[in-house]
Chain A
Amino acid sequence: MMRLDSKIPSGPLESKWDRHRFSEKLVSPNNKRKLSVIVVGTGLAGASAASTLGQLGYHVECFCFHDSPRRAHSIAAQGGINAAKNYQDDGDSVGRLFYDTIKGGDFRSREANVYRLAQVSTQIIDQCVALGIPFAREYGGQLANRSFGGVQVSRTFYCRGQTGQQLLLGAYSALCWQIERGQVTMHPRTELLDLILVDGQARGIVSRDLVTGRISAQMAHAVVLATGGYSNVYYLSTNANGCNVTATYRAWKHGAAFANPCFTQIHPTAIPPGGAHQAKLTLMSESLRNDGRLWVPKVSSDHRLPGDIPVEDRDYFLERRYPRFGNLAPRDIASRAVKVVCDEGCGVGPGGQGVYLDFSEVIEQQGLEVVRERYGNLFDMYHRITGEDAYQAPMRIYPAPHYTMGGLWVDYNLMSTVPGLFVIGEANFADHGANRLGASSLMQGLADGYFILPYTIGHYLATAKLLSIPDDHAEARRAIQRVETRVNRLLTVKGRRTAAMFHRELGTLLWNHCGMSRNEGGLTSALQAIPNLREEFWRDVMVPGAGSAFNQELEYAGRVADYLEFAELLCHDALHRHESCGAHFREEYQTEDGEPRRDDGRFAYVAAWQYRDGAVPVLHKEPLAFEFVPPTMRSYQ
């Protein structure tokens, strides 16, 4: 029987983390040298964790499937990173960042974790400045800030529209230093395909060398997964094509609980899909909503050009529905509002899937140059993709899957239900509850990697009984065998349909039934359709080439196979949660004016699912107690 012990320290919120750190056992410097840790993934969380653990004296084996650790998808984050620095003196504080994040997450996250996140946020900025990250500055030389969706203060630090890139390159440079020092051994172009448990503890991984196809085991004293989110289960998302659920899904099958998989964030401002060939959706940074106004024509039959539609015939739907936050309403709310006006037939562009994001007013008031300086690269990107000039006519945008708040369940120490298996960054179910606020994912990734995991993993390594085990341990051999069997199975189907065809079909199914809004009928039909699609996949998928060679199609087919199983878990979770909260909107649970109806009496818990071979997953509940911020109706009106 699985036990969910969140290990939240008792006592006042403000001092939980300090007291916890003091009560944790330390590993002596001599012993650190004898301990090795596997870190899988080199995004913000993985790279910062690997470099910090290396610096502390552990030996780190670090894995990524890219050709270089610098290419992880954190690199694509555009907007910024939050921190409660209050440099603007506009009333920000650790308490306010905590409150905004709890409320933004619609009261489905842990108070203690979120408070800790807000506390370390300020250290992150200092650390990043020390690493040489060229944050935007004011003329006087101080750090600049901007505001982001869902909050009323200006606390977001940024590097033009490439904040994720700069933060990742900072963490990558720290990682490079530790590689040079011999503290970290880097394994690029290597993909995790299974986890190795010895005596119930995570002690290693099985990976495939993507160049030679060699499958091998790597043992260590603990394993850290920093493998990102699963938005690509929808086929089209803003994630990079390589992002996948394989690592966390494999861990789930070994007994790590998967928490809140149905909390999937659909970002309001992506470029609308173009056609069947489309491989991904491109995000336009949320920062655009600082100055751009969203609108659609008031009547669906209005086919005039946007410039010809007078203001009185336009519906600025976010400003109308949420006058207090207007165009800066949180992501889940903005996305749904876009869907509502498009479903009513007022959408613009091909297929009516789009709304205008209009900058004409700010250009008129502040001048073209100001807008160009702020958003130039985003306008260029828009122009390249659509061939349209957003300085002349409004952009068209539509929501797209973007981030997953759900992930492997972890306790306050970021350890999963499998001892020795730690999960950080987007891969864990984390601090964002049912909805993440903008510029918070970079904050969480770096908080976990630089400042939280390096402490908490030490306590585990200092207190757990960890026997030394050889690389050819029986469990490792068995795990290699499992992986080889599966790879061979993929190669021997020799069917007629490509992995992409199955992936696209699965994605469409999920987008329609488990996307921006969900209902019982749709979810039930998806749960019936997915197993059939999966069977079809294993009967008819076509993977060419060999396992012992560079084979991109084999890599992809393996990831799609995992999506085809994981999708079911996602739908089970969405079906069981009879409430609307955050990104999870159940049509059955809404108010008369279409606002979500949360049910704290029945659903104020983390849904942690346990794997059962060949059966419906088992639900475990971690109740969420709100001692410091009483849950309220989350209103942005």
Chain B
Amino acid sequence: MKFTLNIWRQNGPHERGRFITYEAQDVSPGMSFLEMLDGVNQRLLCNGEEPVAFEQDCREGICGSCSLVINGIPHGPDQGITTCQLYMRRFSDGASITIEPWRAKAFPILKDLVVDRSALDRIMQAGGYISVNTGGAVDGNVILIGKDQAETAMDAASCIGCGACVAACKNASAMLYVAAKVSHLATLPQGRPERACRVSAMLEAMDREGFGSCGNQYECEAVCPKNISTRFIANLNHEYLRAGIVESGLPSEPESPHAESS
């Protein structure tokens, strides 16, 4: 197979970028998209040119490193996969393919197709954890967790932190990313004590990092390689509203009529 690639090249965060056209030759249908790019890079190297920088590591769809917008869609045309899991048999021979980096204000381009996603880590540092020391934990079976509940938590926890949801959103919102972590921890009894402060802190961090707000268009869900559902965004909104009530000092439960008045 043969392809014409329009690849975004940019030397650094402050330089101007542009599309450059390359030919990909001798591509076999069983090659992954990244293996096809490896081939292009090997040829560039042999011609004394600088290879195209792109991120990748595990090449099995779990580390969340790879991050290409292919023909306008983060992670390419297929649903529920990362770029590294995309195979060339998906494209027709001779096709022209446009390859761009994630584009979002919060993700500055470092080089070519590589962006800086550390903003996602900073959101996590703001509250995406359960504050529990190592050691002294109670037996794992002391707190029972229903299968459905555990499965819902797992659905949310599958997020690989790739940032495709941000790249797909016209507001460059990280709502699905935040929603996944907030929902994962709020679903489990262990995450309940910090549930109000967690959601507030993470959403504040999201705003601070320059991500936009949710426009309810569901592009994020459509490109999520782990098929994380936008119902978790609804859950995030629920958690945020709840936190507002809890934090404003209003009792979240109806007051007991027998409570002593002060």
Contacts and interface: CB of A to CB of B under 8 A. Distances in A.
Q: Do A and B bind each other?
A: yes
Contacts of A177: 125, 129, 131
Interface string B114-127: 10111011001110
Interface in A453-485: 454
A125 B140 contact: yes
A381 B147 contact: no
Interface string B44-72: 01101111010111111111110000000
Interface stretch (A27-35, A147-155, A245-253, A542-550): A542-550
Interface stretch (B33-41, B169-177, B250-258): B33-41
Given A137-B147, A211-B110, A127 B81 contact: no
B210 interface: no
A143 B45 CA distance: 52
A127 B135 contact: yes
Interface in A70-97: 70-71, 73, 75-76, 85, 87
Nearest to A159: B154
Interface string A546-570: 0000101100000000000000000
A630 interface: no
A143 B63 CA distance: 26
B243 interface: no
Interface stretch (B24-32, B91-99, B211-219, B232-240): B24-32
A542 B48 CA distance: 8
Contact of A134 (B35, B134, B153): B153
B48 A544 contact: yes
Given A137-B146, A240-B58, A545-B50, A384 B81 contact: yes
Interface residues of A, number: 80
Interface string B129-150: 1111111011111011111011
A480 to B, nearest CB: 24
B244 interface: no
Contacts of A242: 57
Contacts of B65: 66-67, 71
A131 B45 contact: no
Contacts of B132: 130-131, 174
A140 interface: yes
A274 B89 CA distance: 14
Contact of A73 (B61, B63, B150, B153): B63
A73 B62 CA distance: 9
A123 B135 CA distance: 8
Contacts of B57: 66, 71, 73, 240-242
B157 interface: yes
A451 B62 contact: no
A210 to B, nearest CB: 9
Contacts of A67: 55, 65, 116-118
A139 interface: yes
A384 B85 CA distance: 7
Given A67-B65, A173-B130, A275 B28 contact: yes
Given A75-B63, A127-B137, A498-B46, A132 B130 contact: yes
B58 A73 contact: yes
Contacts of B160: 165
B150 A137 contact: yes
B77 interface: no
B97 to A, nearest CB: 17
A162 B188 CA distance: 18
A173 B128 contact: yes
B141 A274 contact: no
Nearest to A387: B89
A637 B40 CA distance: 49
Nearest to A139: B147
Contact of A188 (B39, B60, B118, B191): B118
Contacts of B64: 68, 70-71
Contacts of B21: none
A51 interface: yes
B108 to A, nearest CB: 11
B63 A176 contact: no
B9 interface: no
Nearest to A128: B140
A52 interface: yes
Interface in A118-136: 123, 125-136
A52 B132 CA distance: 10
Nearest to B139: A126
A553 B150 contact: no
A542 B45 contact: yes
Contacts of B138: 126, 130
Interface in A38-82: 48, 51-52, 55, 66-71, 73, 75-76
Nearest to B78: A384
A130 B128 contact: no
A198 B49 CA distance: 42
B87 interface: yes
Contact of B45 (A66, A142, A544): A544
B158 A52 contact: no
A146 to B, nearest CB: 15
B158 to A, nearest CB: 7
Nearest to A278: B35
A378 B145 CA distance: 26
A15 to B, nearest CB: 19
A481 B42 CA distance: 31
B190 A75 contact: no
A75 B59 CA distance: 12
Nearest to A157: B140
B135 A165 contact: no
A26 interface: no
A142 B62 contact: no
B189 to A, nearest CB: 9
Given A137-B147, A141-B144, A166-B157, A51 B118 contact: no
A279 interface: yes
Interface in A138-186: 138-143, 159-160, 162, 164-166, 169, 172-174, 176-177, 179-180, 186
Contacts of B56: 241
Contact of A240 (B63, B124, B184): B63
A544 B42 CA distance: 12
A102 B124 CA distance: 39
Contacts of B12: 550
Nearest to B26: A277
A624 interface: no
A450 B134 contact: yes
Given A137-B145, A174-B134, 19 more contacts: A48-B134, A66-B57, A68-B118, A123-B137, A126-B137, A166-B154, A169-B157, A172-B124, A173-B124, A174-B132, A176-B129, A180-B125, A186-B121, A279-B35, A384-B81, A498-B42, A500-B38, A544-B51, A550-B53
The 5 closest A-B pairs by CB, nearest first: A141-B144, A173-B129, A134-B153, A130-B137, A126-B137
17 contacts: A66-B63, A67-B117, A70-B121, A71-B57, A73-B57, A73-B58, A126-B137, A134-B154, A137-B146, A137-B149, A143-B141, A174-B129, A241-B58, A274-B30, A384-B85, A385-B87, A542-B46
